[in-house]
């Protein structure tokens, strides 16, 4: 079989919110199989560990978190909805036990965002939230950091902690996760330089390393941790080419970050420079800048690397297209293969 399924969040003004597509490895191309009209303006989506359920956020009128069943052909049908209690639900995931969905709202009107946890029953139905948390604080950028803006929530590889980068406070929050009760308790915070604006994180597949991309200062920070849960920041690297001059009218901001499945390369998105930044990871998991590759469009918000590590797909939000690249497993470099017109693609998950 040459194709696998990719689920794509569409945040534009089209009448569909999610696209189901087949990735053809031989052609290096996506083919649309379904466009889901039950929701529109989807801002994030993620797969349940069992592969039979997909969670998504929507801003179409009622701001909600929504669950969909995945049938044997990979197509989606609506199961349940719950209010997201925000005005910009930026991220949703399912912790490894599959019993709870974790969500962050970037903002609530003009007020600070929040963190929420929802139980998921055996039929994929979302229950009323079991946790609601808000952060105190702000930072130095008056236009972007006036209040707390949690931008992602994801669990550590051992499912012991939920990690929440907060763009508004320049901190990454680590919450101990009670997967049985759907509760979070703050364990510690990791500080970033003021004005960094932490947005997303990704984990190394074999080493105790975490990489956090910082939206406002276009950097990636590398962290390590030990068995006593002591976290250490190892490095901070720019995502932009040396000597690049930021245009005054279109400042670069970063968005997404992922590690190659082989653990040898790290990638991130530049919006404004409109590129994928590529790093080599050494034996200690430290990143070394290789270069950048154009995303063949404008404002690349999110991307994915397929589980085999052969293909990278990136969504260009402002030019309404998803670009497909093949990955050289020896060098980490990208080769452009094709582009598919889609309404504001801003998140990707693959069912392998």
Q: pLDDT tens-digit profile of 152-170?
A: 999 999 999 999 999 999 9
**What's the pLDDT score for residue 250?**
83
Lowest mean pLDDT among 57-61, 94-98, 263-267, 300-304: 57-61
Higher local confidence (pLDDT), 249 or 79:
79
Sorting pLDDT into bands at 50, 70 and 90, what band is 94?
A: very high
What mean pLDDT is predicted for residues 302-327? 98
Percent of the chain at pLDDT above 70? Answer: 99
**What's the pLDDT score for residue 195?**
98
Sorting pLDDT into bands at 50, 70 and 90, what band is 352?
A: low
Quote the distance between the C-alpha of residue 174 and its chain's center.
17
Per-residue pLDDT for 8 more than 60?
yes
What mean pLDDT is predicted for residues 147-154? 98
Percent of the chain at pLDDT above 90? Answer: 96
**What's the pLDDT score for residue 3?**
65
**What's the pLDDT score for residue 130?**
97
For residues 259-287, one letter each, b for 16 or more C-beta atoms within 10 angstroms of the residue's C-beta and e for the rest, the string is bbbebbbbbbbbbbbbbbbbbebeeebbb
Distance (Å, whole) CA 229 – CA 153 = 18
Q: Considering the chain, what is the average pLDDT of its residues?
A: 97
What mean pLDDT is predicted for residues 298-327? 98
Higher local confidence (pLDDT), 247 or 228:
228
**What's the pLDDT score for residue 249?**
84
Whole-model pTM? 0.97
Per-residue pLDDT for 2 more than 90?
no
Q: Is there a contact between 351 and 70 (Cβ–Cβ < 8 Å)?
A: yes
What mean pLDDT is predicted for residues 168-178? 98
Per-residue pLDDT for 1 more than 50?
no
pLDDT tens digits, one per residue of 110-126: 999 999 999 999 999 99
What mean pLDDT is predicted for residues 207-236? 98
Q: Is there a contact between 306 and 352 (Cβ–Cβ < 8 Å)?
A: yes
Q: Is there a contact between 318 and 296 (Cβ–Cβ < 8 Å)?
A: no
pLDDT tens digits, one per residue of 270-288: 999 999 999 999 999 999 9
């Amino acid at each position: 079989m040459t194709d696998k399924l990719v689920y794509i969040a569409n945040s534009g003004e089209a009448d569909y919110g999610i696209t189901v597509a087949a990735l053809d490895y031989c052609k290096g191309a996506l083919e649309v199989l379904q466009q889901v009209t039950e929701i529109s303006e989807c801002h994030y989506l993620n797969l349940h560990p069992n592969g039979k359920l997909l969670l998504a956020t929507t801003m179409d009128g009622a701001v909600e978190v929504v669950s969909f069943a995945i049938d044997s052909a990979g197509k989606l049908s609506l199961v349940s909805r719950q209010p997201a209690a925000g005005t910009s639900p930026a991220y949703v995931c399912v912790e490894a036990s599959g019993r709870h969905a974790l969500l962050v709202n970037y903002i609530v009107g003009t007020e600070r965002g929040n963190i929420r946890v929802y139980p998921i029953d055996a039929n994929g139905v979302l229950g009323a939230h079991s946790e609601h948390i808000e952060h105190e604080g702000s930072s130095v950028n008056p236009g972007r950091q006036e209040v707390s803006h949690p931008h992602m929530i994801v669990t550590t590889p051992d499912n012991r902690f939920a990690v929440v980068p907060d763009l508004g406070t320049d901190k990454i929050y680590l919450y101990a996760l009670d997967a049985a009760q759907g509760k979070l308790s703050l364990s510690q915070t990791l500080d970033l330089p003021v004005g960094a604006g932490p947005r997303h994180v990704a984990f190394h597949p074999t080493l105790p390393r975490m990489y956090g991309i910082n939206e406002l200062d276009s950097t990636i920070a590398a962290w390590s941790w030990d068995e006593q849960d002591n976290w250490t920041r190892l490095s901070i690297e720019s995502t932009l080419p040396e000597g690049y001059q930021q245009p005054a009218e279109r400042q670069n901001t970063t968005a997404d970050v992922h590690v190659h499945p082989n653990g040898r390369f790290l990638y991130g998105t530049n919006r404004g420079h409109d590129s994928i930044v590529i790093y080599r990871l050494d034996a200690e998991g430290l990143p070394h800048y290789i270069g950048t590759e154009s995303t063949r469009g404008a404002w690349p918000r999110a991307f994915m690397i397929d589980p085999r590590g052969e293909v990278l797909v990136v969504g260009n939000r402002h030019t309404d297209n998803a670009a497909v690249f093949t990955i050289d497993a020896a060098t980490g470099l990208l080769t452009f293969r094709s582009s598919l017109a889609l309404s504001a693609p801003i998140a990707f998950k693959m069912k392998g």
